[in-house]
Amino acid sequence: MSDIVLHGYWRSGTSYRTRIALALKGLDYDYRAVDLRAGEQHGETYRALQPQGLVPAMEVGGDVLVQSPAIIEYLEERWPEPALLPTGPVDRAAVRGMAAIIGCDVHPLGNLRILKYLTGELGQPPESVRSWVNRWIGDGFAALETLIAKHGGAFAFGDRPGLVECYLLPQVYSAARFQTDLSPFPKLMAVAERALADERIAAAHPDRQPDADGETK
Amino acid sequence: MSDIVLHGYWRSGTSYRTRIALALKGLDYDYRAVDLRAGEQHGETYRALQPQGLVPAMEVGGDVLVQSPAIIEYLEERWPEPALLPTGPVDRAAVRGMAAIIGCDVHPLGNLRILKYLTGELGQPPESVRSWVNRWIGDGFAALETLIAKHGGAFAFGDRPGLVECYLLPQVYSAARFQTDLSPFPKLMAVAERALADERIAAAHPDRQPDADGETK
């Protein structure tokens, strides 16, 4: 049994993001699936860990950490090597900025509770929900394509996978579910494909989690 | 003329957030207003700085930094005192987690481009847009109220204003514009009022920026 327990859901982008960070750090952890479709995240037990009722949450020692950006920064501070961030402050800001484009301006608009609200409260049909998601993915990926051209090498920043890949791969996975046209983003997609070929990263994929059910995406 | 140039807009929450961080650090900067209503953010000049066409962007030395979470972490690394984050990794994760609740799960759903999409592409009436914004502010603030009860003192985490206040005050300002019912969040509001009484923080308020036009909110 590991000192780290990750509460997550196979297909949640923020859970996937955290799994990649743990994998790149080479950290073992126990995975506890929270069944989002059954509403387990809204139960008292889970909300005592995470008051928003959102995944992931990470237990370490006796502490509970919430919010994947905070969890990943914690992993970086606590286990600095291999590093997810480069060394100099300006480079670190560039990497954090690229991650935040996804973390703040793309992912939040396409997660489960938002899609449910669009479909439910706002009565939007599936094609309208798909246009919504694709608009924000497209805008964010266009900016990332420019920044990868500026900072990238084999990966989004330089020649090692790191923080940007943690955020990027789950968003590419989500884009595939929504049939986003990814042809305008060749550099971004080359980075994503290269990252997915890394066995550590591949093991964090949704389809390889114990709670993956293999249903049609 | 300062070494730091902040490109922002008086009423933008992420610009306001960045101004608070600069103010708490006691850093001077030149403020360049980007007129979001006139679409200046979409022009070639601004997009060369910030490829998303979003504010803020910060120039420092010859570098351009984007995304307020990345800019604020940069300020913390470059000018560590006074600190916006506490010392231990678990405490730092708690503070970053509280900030991310607003940065990732509240603010992104209520910014200008999203409201325009709801009104325009999705044809939603004003009351529907208000319900949308209030739903996400309410969910996020409820979780923060719980976490402030756990970690807070005079401020959201302990007895000094820091990273959480950078994120919290702009969101409270936005909530006032949308007439969110804030009565369920007494601890959060007490923190916000105490922070606004700090003259450094007060000087970062939208109404005190050179591009504020005093129009009805």
Q: Which residues of B141-173 are buried (b: 16+ CB within 10 A; e: fewer)?
A: bbbbbbbbeebbeebbbeebbbbbbbbbbbbbb
Reply yes or no on whether the pLDDT at A180 is more than 80.
Answer: yes
Reply yes or no on whether the pLDDT at A217 is more than 60.
Answer: no
Task: Write out pLDDT tens, residues B176-211.
Answer: 999 999 999 999 999 999 999 999 999 999 999 999
Report yes or no: A89 at the B interface, CB cutoff 8 Å: yes
Q: State the amino acid at position B164 in one-letter form.
A: V
Report yes or no: B147 at the A interface, CB cutoff 8 Å: yes
Chain A residue with minimal CA distance to B103? A104
Task: Give the minimum alpha-carbon distance from B95 to chain A in angstroms, rounded to a whole number.
Answer: 8
Name the helix (H) or strand (E) containing B173. Answer: helix B163-177
Q: Which residues of A167-176 are buried (b: 16+ CB within 10 A; e: fewer)?
A: bbbbbbbbbe
Report yes or no: A94 at the B interface, CB cutoff 8 Å: yes
pLDDT of residue B217: 44
Count other C-beta atoms under 10 Å from residue B87's C-beta: 7
Nearest by CB: A52 against B63, B70, B143: B143
Report yes or no: A133 at the B interface, CB cutoff 8 Å: no
| Reported confidence tier of residue B215, pLDDT bands at 50, 70, 90 | low
Task: Write out pLDDT tens, residues B87-135.
Answer: 999 999 999 999 999 999 999 999 999 999 999 999 999 999 999 999 9
For the segment A3-10, the average pLDDT, to the nearest whole number, is 97
Q: What is the percent of chain A where pLDDT is above 70?
A: 98
DSSP E strand boundaries for chain B: 4-8, 30-33, 57-60, 63-66
For the segment B152-176, the average pLDDT, to the nearest whole number, is 98
Report yes or no: A175 at the B interface, CB cutoff 8 Å: no
For the segment A177-188, the average pLDDT, to the nearest whole number, is 97
| Reported confidence tier of residue B216, pLDDT bands at 50, 70, 90 | very low
Tell me B158's DSSP state: B
pLDDT of residue A2: 74
| Reported confidence tier of residue A213, pLDDT bands at 50, 70, 90 | confident
Task: Find tokens 């480079």 and name the residue.
Answer: A91
Q: What SS3 class is residue B107?
A: helix
The answer for B 98-117 residues in CB contact with A (under 8 A) is: 99-101, 103-105, 107-109, 114, 117
For the segment A54-81, the average pLDDT, to the nearest whole number, is 98
pLDDT of residue B1: 56
Task: Find tokens 């308020």 and name the residue.
Answer: B205
B136 to A9, B19, B104, B111, B163: CA distances (angstroms):
22, 24, 11, 12, 20
Task: Find tokens 């080479």 and name the residue.
Answer: A26
Report yes or no: B123 at the A interface, CB cutoff 8 Å: no
For the segment A193-211, the average pLDDT, to the nearest whole number, is 98
Reply yes or no on whether the pLDDT at A156 is more than 70.
Answer: yes
Which domains does chain A show, CATH number per domain?
Answer: 4-82 (3.40.30.10), 89-201 (1.20.1050.10)
pLDDT of residue B142: 98
The partner residues of A4 in beta bridges, in order of sequence, read: A60
Count other C-beta atoms under 10 Å from residue A112's C-beta: 16
Cβ contacts of A117 on chain B, cutoff 8 Å: 132, 135
Task: Give the minimum alpha-carbon distance from B24 to chain A in angstroms, rounded to a whole number.
Answer: 19
pLDDT of residue B2: 74
The closest of B166, B36, B51 to A143, measured between CA atoms, is B51
The span from the CA of B148 to the CA of B158, in Å, is 9
The span from the CA of B113 to the CA of B96, in Å, is 25
Mean pLDDT of chain B: 96
Is A104 close to B69, i.e. CB distance below 8 A? yes
Nearest by CB: A146 against B51, B94, B132: B51
Task: Write out pLDDT tens, residues B68-81.
Answer: 999 999 999 999 99
The closest of A58, A56, A48 to B89, measured between CA atoms, is A58
Task: Write out pLDDT tens, residues A41-51.
Answer: 999 999 999 99
The span from the CA of A51 to the CA of B144, in Å, is 8
Residue A75, both tokens: 């992993």
CB B136 within 8 A of CB B107: no
pLDDT of residue A215: 61
DSSP string, chain A: --SEEEEE-TT-HHHHHHHHHHHHHT---EEEE--TTTTGGGSHHHHHH-TT--S-EEEETTEEEESHHHHHHHHHHHS-SS-SS-SSHHHHHHHHHHHHHHHHHTGGGSSHHHHHHHHTTT---HHHHHHHHHHHHHHHHHHHHHHHHHHBSSSSSBTS--HHHHHHHHHHHHHHHTT---TT-HHHHHHHHHHHTSHHHHTTSGGGSTT------
Tell me B108's DSSP state: G
For the segment A74-97, the average pLDDT, to the nearest whole number, is 98
B194 to B14, B156, B165: CA distances (angstroms):
21, 10, 10
Cβ contacts of B66 on chain A, cutoff 8 Å: 97, 101
Contacts of A123 (CB under 8 A, 6+ apart): none
Cβ contacts of A122 on chain B, cutoff 8 Å: 122, 124, 128, 132
| Reported confidence tier of residue A216, pLDDT bands at 50, 70, 90 | very low
